[in-house]
Amino acid sequence: MADARPIIVIKRKSPHAAHHGGAWKVAYADFVTAMMSLFIVLWLMNSSKQIQVAVGGYFKDPTGNSKMVGSNQTGSGENITLTKDTMSLLKQALQDAIRQVASLDKFKDQIEMTVTAEGLRIELLETATGTFFDSGSSDLNGSGKELLVTLAQELGKLPNNISIEGHTDSKPFAGKVDYGNWELSTDRANSARRLMQENGLRENQVSQVRGFADQRLRKHADPLDPSNRRISVIVQYLDKNTGQQPKAPDPASQTGGPGASTHPDQPTEPARP
């Protein structure tokens, strides 16, 4: 027994499996992102058109810089003084704003915007069936109201003055005694002014309301064309040096100087763009 050797038991520890890393975390994150995207798409599909347009507008312009065309508030429209050099920015911003109103997209061929010597001219062209006004009336229909409210909300953010003009075609107005195209064109311009001042334009922002009847035809070769019937909204330039609205010329300087006749009933030549 003395010669018996002790029994030595050797226990070997089996090594752990190699570390599998964090690849599963990446796969899980991708899965969660995909599920979130799915839920957002499902939510958008059941949302109103207004929400869909707003979300789409964010992805088109996340910073909102495209609409910084003229205010001291970021994105509201007054960071840039709207002079002859910058009026094209306003034109683009208004076109974008109208495009985002789905119900107005079908009228894109009846809305024309041009930069002129007087300012940005926005024209609402009528069709044979009446696009913005009831036929032969100064009452705006639903489409006319919606468009003018959209314009008023954008233009009201600007320091620029606004002129509003009414135009008709050469077809004689019938149906009322002592009422013709002169009265109709002026009444339509005034209807547009009232609605825009109630929905965004400042009380003192409209500098002129003018009715021209058929004296400024859009299509001279076809004086009865429906597009001659239109409302024109003109955003007037600001002086690029002072940032202020240019002063109107002194009437006395255009009528022979001091002492010249300025009788209120005396007709005057309207300012031309």
Q: What is the pLDDT of residue 164?
A: 97
Q: What is the mean pLDDT of the chain?
A: 77
Report pLDDT digits (tens) over 28-60. 888 999 999 888 888 888 876 667 767 776 676
Q: 217: closest CA among 182, 171, 180, 168?
A: 168
pLDDT (tens digit per residue) in 56-87: 766 766 665 554 444 333 343 444 456 777 78
pLDDT number for residue 194 = 96
Question: What is the structure's pLDDT at 50?
Answer: 63
**Phi first, then psi: what are they for 8, rounded to 5°?**
-105, 120
Low-confidence ranges of the chain (pLDDT < 70): 1-3, 13-21, 48-50, 53, 57-58, 60-82, 239-273
**Would you state the pLDDT for residue 239?**
67
Give the pLDDT confidence score for residue 71 in this predicted structure. 39
